[in-house]
Amino acid sequence: MKHFIDLHEDVSISDLEELLSIAEDLKAKTKAGIPHPLLAGKTLGMIFTKSSTRTRVSFEVGMYQLGGHPLFLNANDIQIGRGETISDTAQVLSRMVDAIMIRTFKHQDVVDLARFGTIPVINGLTDDQHPTQALADLLTIKEHKGTLKGLKLCYVGDGNNVANSLLQACAKSGMHISVASPASHTCPSFYVDQAKKDAAVTGSRIVMTTDPFAAAKDADVIYTDTWTSMGQESEKAARVAIFKDYQVNGELMSHAAKDAIFLHCLPAYRGYEVTADVIDSPCSVVFDEAENRLHAHKAILVKCLG
C-alpha cells in the first residue's frame, strides 16, 4: 500500500482486512505493555493547515510507540504557508522524511503531494475525505459487534468528508450503509457511485435518502457529525436551520436495533447534531472510537512504512 489517501483508490479489500488485523494486534500489544518499535529510525512529517486534537495526538503518539519520530509542521511555520508550491514541498520532504501525513483543506493538495513526492502520503483529513477516521470507525464497530459484513450503519446529517469516507469504508467491508441528509447537502454522486462499485463486489447495500427515520430503521450503528465543519463557522445559523430535523436523539435511536451503538468522530456539540442523553448514554462508544484513532493510525503507518 503505497499511500493512504482514498479508501476506494488506495486500499483493496484485502488491504482493509490487513489494516484492521494490524490495528487489533497493536492495540493488544499497547494494552499489554509490549513494546513494538516496528518503525525505529523512521520519521513522519506531519503537515497541518487545519487545527486538530485527535489526528495530531494519535499520529504523534503512534510514531513514538512504533519507535519512530514525528515532526509537526504547522502551515504558519513552513514555506508552504508562504506560497511554496506543493511540488517543491513534496520533493524537499521526500529527501528528508520517510512519509508525510497531511491534514488540510483541498483534497487535490494531498493528491499532488503524492504525485510529486517519492514517499508515502497519508490523508489526515481534507474537505472531501476523512479516511483515517473511517478506519478507526470500522475497528470500533468490529470490536463491539464482532464482525462488519452484513451490519447496517446509518449516517445522519451533512454529506461531508466523514460521510464520503464512510460510504467507501462500508462498501469495502461489506457493511450496508444508509445516509440521510437534506437534498441540498447529500454526498456527491461521485462518492456514491464509487461506493456502489465496491458494494457490487462485497454485497453491501448503499441507500441515500432524505428521511432519517427510514435510514435508522434496524440499524446496528447510528453515526453523525457536526453540522458546521471547520471553515464553515460563518454559516452556522443557516446550517442549524437546514439540519434541525437531522438530530440524533432518543426518538431516532428508537428506530435502530435495540443493541445499536452510537458513533461520532468528535468534537460533538450536544443539543445540535446529537442530544446529551444519546452521546452520554451506554450505547455511545465515542471515546472507544476516539482511542481507536491511535491504533488505526499506527496500522496505517506500519502498512505504509513497515
Residues involved in catalysis: 103, 130, 133, 225, 265, 293
CB 185 within 8 A of CB 158: yes
* Close Cβ partners of 6 (under 8 Å, ≥ 6 residues apart): 123, 129, 131, 168
Q: What is the DSSP letter of 164?
A: H
262/282 Cα distance (integer angstroms): 9
Q: What is the per-residue DSSP string for 31-88? A: HHT----TTTT-EEEEEESS--SHHHHHHHHHHHHTT-EEEEEETTTSGGGGT--HHH
289/247 Cα distance (integer angstroms): 20
Distance, CA of 65 to chain centre = 21
CB 124 within 8 A of CB 59: yes
